[in-house]
Amino acid sequence: MRAVVVALGKVGLPLAAQIAKAGHEVVGCDIDPVVVDKVNAGEAPFPGEAGLAETLQETVAAGRLKASTRTSAAVAAGPDLVIAVPPLAVDHRAHPDWGALDAAVRSIGEGLQPETTVSIETTVPLGTTRRRLAPLLERASGLMAERHFHLVFSPERVYSGRVFRDLATYPKLVGGLSPEAEARGVELYESFLDAEVWGVGSAEAAELAKLAETTYRDLNIAFANELARIADDHDLDVTRVIEAANSQPFSHIHSPGVAVGGHCIPVYPRFLLAGAPEAKLPRVAREVNEAMPSYAVDLLGEVRGKQVLVLGITYRGGVKETAFSGALAVRDELQARGVLDVLGHDPLLSDAELEALDFVPWHGGAIDAAIVQADHAEYARLGPDELPATTIVDGRGILDAQRFDGRVKRLGRP
């Protein structure tokens, strides 16, 4: 098989390497020449992806993987499969910005040849593949979907840092614009994946499956957060309550937290609602989870005129990503309540990066209060000498509360 993978980010590049590792010929395309040059040198352009550096070295040296900035030319060579994984940017309310995805799809269309199968892996609102992306490909190529080329939607289902493991573990979902497209998509994915490949009936079914699995997590977290607030009202320990509930096989309640962040969980429920505005639970869950930063600030008490530290600015521990981070909502809430300074600390961010996000970098010293927003491993070692605040809200349950003489408040835990 010959394949082209468009957009060599944290999902696209490991996917391209996986295809090449399975013995196929792959061209990876990206608009960033620095990324392309590094890939062609057999180097990973970003850290933290297990097995990527070794796989790149092997497949590039063997001549099975090369990179290019010329997407249309790579597609014009007539590969069997073109996989598009460009990001779908969103604004602060999770409304899509179609610019990057549309541009990538047009570039594919400009080189598209008959008999090629195009697979979209970027998570999109329901109906996007058929109603938006198919017409874009047709206009750019002059070809007709399902007459001259196949189009499928096959959502990425991997976690950054463990993409190869996830590709080998979770069933790959494929939904086509037609039964023929779906069958061809399944056949092509089976040629390089060890995991099962499932045809799900249509592009829309695959789109909805992706949105459902992510929205489920948002709903589950919202329920855990509501349980935490109920536990606070009744002086109960929510962790023991959840553990007890989960001790039978029908309950799988997640853990509460100060915020839900990242590219996926805060965003994809909004995509689901865009295609199904009458849906009630996703909307309510978003409201519950978006209210948690304000609730965490409530637990601090009066903050006007004080210096308050936010520990952890990335959306989760160990990952350098601030998209939809709860730290930003905590910052806004603190500023609205008249704090003197919103200080920030994150082991993955420089002072300049903290300042760009409107935090005053903190390197230790006296503070009035603090909120732990991201569970970086470094914070588990903090004690009262390193964190000399009168009141601390541990929004992730990572601090050793017994070391702080009653100064630590945790969500749903007395």
User: Would you name the residues annotated as active-site residues?
Assistant: 210, 264
d(CA 71, CA 28): 8
Nearest to 334, CA basis, from 288, 302, 375, 367? 302
Residues 264, 269, 271: CA angle, nearest 5 degrees: 90
Contact between 224 and 287 (Cβ < 8 Å): no
Residue for token digits 């009035």?
A: 368
Sign of CA dihedral 335, 337, 343, 344: negative
- Region of residue 49 (left: phi > 0; alpha: psi -120 to 50; beta: else): beta
CA-only gyration radius of the chain, Å: 23
Nearest to 200, CA basis, from 214, 185, 216? 185
**Cβ within 8 Å of residue 45, ≥6 positions away:** 8, 13, 34, 35, 38, 39
Contact between 141 and 149 (Cβ < 8 Å): yes
> Hey, what are 324's tokens?
């939809």
Coil, strand or helix at 164: helix
Question: What are the beta bridge partners of residue 29?
Answer: 6, 68
